[in-house]
Amino acid sequence: MQQFALGLQVSIRPLLQNNDQQLLNAQLNHLRFASVIPVTAIALYDGNGQVVGETEAATVLPQLELETPVTSFRIEPFADAIIAIQPVSASALNGRTEVASIRSDRDGLYLLILLQPDSAHSIWLLPLLITACIGFVTVLIVSGSFLRSGQRLQTDISLISHKLSQLKQGQLNSRLQDELVPELLPLQQMLNELAERLRYNMQQAVDASAKQQQECDLAKIAEQQALLQKEQLTQAYQQLLAQHTAHQHQLQQLISQATEILPAEYIRTLSTYSAIYHLLLAQQPFDTQAMVLCDSVESLISGYAEQLAEKHIHFELQEAAENIKYSFRSTEALLLQLIDALLQTGMQFAAVSEISLTLNTLASSGQLHIKLRADGEGLSAAAVQFLTTSSPGSYWPQLPVQLLKLAADKLSANIDVQSLQGVGSAIDVNLPVIGVESTKLMLPERVLLFDTQKTRLAQHKMQLDSLCKQLTLCHELADLELKLKQQQWDKVVLFYLSQSSYHCGWK
């Protein structure tokens, strides 16, 4: 305010020199309206309170009444307004004599400036309105920007949802190439990676499917070729089987015709060869029949009596009591061929003099145990390896060994061989049997057992104890005759030595 008053004093200084009141009033009005402060009226008084110059609306100013001269700027309240009093300095008169003479009767000039803040609200209201408009426009711009950003974000999210739906359906055109808002760039990158992975996996699946289809086509072609080859092989096999049957029939006729003119050993060799030939071409599975081992083996063993006597071989057959108590199901012809091959193998040992054959039906485990013991040179190491480790269908020059291996393989039997050069060999055969059942056998009550050797007599007692209620032992002929006269026996078992072998008979 004081600076305005000083500036006002400087501005009217030239007009005071001209002494033109109208021009002074005009200048004061101009300065009033040009002021940046809310000035209501301006008046210039002399020391006597006379108006020298004034602005419009100067009537609201009070009459200047000074008891003492004012020498400095002063502000006084006036109603709701403010009055500023500024004494005009002597330098404003610029030292001119005519002005000094005019003002000689006065004590000085005073500027009265009336300020009404309440009536000057337009000064700050306009900037406020402008600021408000600017703020409103700014808010509109910012809200529009946010709205556009939200709309773009919503559009981008919808686009991503659409691409995700395509990706879920397995479409390959799921890559998102459009430019998205920065906030969605990581999601766009992940979506493109998933789309690329889907494309790669789909391509791999297509390649794998094509490869699999190609393999299936090749497999079908191979299957057709295999079926054709199988059909050809079946036809060839049927022809070979027919030839085999015819040859087998012719061979059997030759054997039956040659029985009277050829030695028994030659006939047995031909029979062995025929059995081997039949097993090599036979189809599995074989038919099984219920059989009692004692009944089946008896006729087989009796056929070796003459050959054993010629070779001076002592033969002993040991059968467990279970053999007569139980029956089982097996391929009888094949089982007898196995036992026949065992006997022939033992009889071919060099320097053989004793052969024992043990048969034992193990009902609890469903097994049949067959064991052949023979002295002499025994089996060679190569023959032992052939029997225990060779694959089915392998060839061996000795026909009985070949037949033994073939029959054991057909019966799923396990062969264990212990052989010592110069001492002999022991061949153990274990094969599974099915349908083991107890036989309906009427056992004798009183049995007389005779054997000249006490050691064997004790062994026979162990074997026959469970087959009768009362078993009486005898090892001397005189004692045997006495017991036969003294008592009636249901069965008499005689073990005696002939020139060829060890015989057993029921009486």
How would you class 454 by CB atoms within 10 Å of its CB: exposed for 0-12, middle for 13-18, buried for 19 or more? exposed
Domain that holds residue 335: 282-441
* Tokens standing for residue 59: 């009537």
Q: In what order do the strands lie in the sheet with 109-115?
A: 51-54, 39-46, 109-115, 81-88, 74-78
In a domain, 258, yes or no: no
* Maximum mean pLDDT: which of 79-93, 99-113, 214-228: 214-228
* Maximum mean pLDDT: which of 5-9, 65-69, 251-255: 5-9
pLDDT range class, residue 424, cuts 50, 70, 90: very high
DSSP state of 98: H
In a domain, 259, yes or no: no
Q: Is the pLDDT of residue 236 over 90?
A: no
pTM over 0.85: no
Q: Is the pLDDT of residue 222 over 80?
A: yes
| 283 Ramachandran zone, left/alpha/beta (phi>0; psi -120 to 50) | beta
For residues 16 and 86, state if they share a domain.
Answer: yes
DSSP per-residue letters across 176-241: --S---GGGHHHHHHHHHHHHHHHHHHHHHHHHHHHHHHHHHHHHHHHHHHHHHHHHHHHHHHHHH
In a domain, 234, yes or no: yes
C-alpha distances in angstroms, 368 versus 155, 363, 412, 426?
A: 87, 8, 12, 16
What is the per-residue pLDDT for 104?
35
For residues 165 and 297, state if they share a domain.
Answer: no
For residues 353 and 408, state if they share a domain.
Answer: yes
Which of 116, 138, 169 is the last residue before a domain boundary? 116
Round to whole Å and give the CA distance between 350 and 16.
171
Q: Is the pLDDT of residue 55 over 90?
A: no
> What value does the mean pLDDT of the chain take?
80
Domain harbouring 80, CATH code: 3.30.450
Domain harbouring 299, CATH code: 3.30.565.10
Q: Is the pLDDT of residue 292 over 70?
A: yes
For residues 299 and 403, state if they share a domain.
Answer: yes
In a domain, 253, yes or no: no
Which of 116, 147, 181 is the last residue before a domain boundary? 116
Q: Compute the radius of gyration of the chain from its Cα atoms.
A: 71
For residues 458 and 476, state if they share a domain.
Answer: yes
Q: In what order do the strands lie in the sheet with 367-374?
A: 314-319, 354-362, 367-374, 424-432, 414-420
For residues 221 and 143, state if they share a domain.
Answer: yes
Q: Is the pLDDT of residue 415 over 90?
A: yes
For residues 453 and 429, state if they share a domain.
Answer: no
In a domain, 416, yes or no: yes
For residue range 305-327, list pLDDT tens digits in order.
888 888 899 998 888 878 888 88
More confident residue, 64 or 445: 445
The number of folded domains in the chain is: 4
Round to whole Å and give the CA distance between 47 and 90.
13
8 Å CB contact between 111 and 55: no
In a domain, 277, yes or no: no
What is the per-residue pLDDT for 128?
80
Helix axes 332-347, 293-302, angle to 10 degrees: 40
In a domain, 250, yes or no: no
For residues 233 and 99, state if they share a domain.
Answer: no
Which of 56, 86, 116 is the last residue before a domain boundary? 116
pLDDT range class, residue 356, cuts 50, 70, 90: very high
What is the per-residue pLDDT for 98?
41
Helix-, strand-, coil-residue percentages of the chain, each rounded to 5: 55, 20, 25
In a domain, 406, yes or no: yes
Percent of the chain exceeding pLDDT 70 equals 82
Round to whole Å and give the CA distance between 407 and 275.
9
How would you class 460 by CB atoms within 10 Å of its CB: exposed for 0-12, middle for 13-18, buried for 19 or more? buried
For residues 228 and 372, state if they share a domain.
Answer: no
Q: Is the pLDDT of residue 57 over 80?
A: no
Round to whole Å and give the CA distance between 333 and 300.
11
Q: Please name the residues in contact with 384: beta carbons below 8 A apart, sequence gap of 6 or more.
A: 417, 419, 425
Q: Is the pLDDT of residue 372 over 90?
A: yes
For residues 478 and 352, state if they share a domain.
Answer: no
For residues 293 and 337, state if they share a domain.
Answer: yes
For residues 302 and 347, state if they share a domain.
Answer: yes
Q: Is the pLDDT of residue 368 over 80?
A: yes
Return the SS3 of 333.
helix
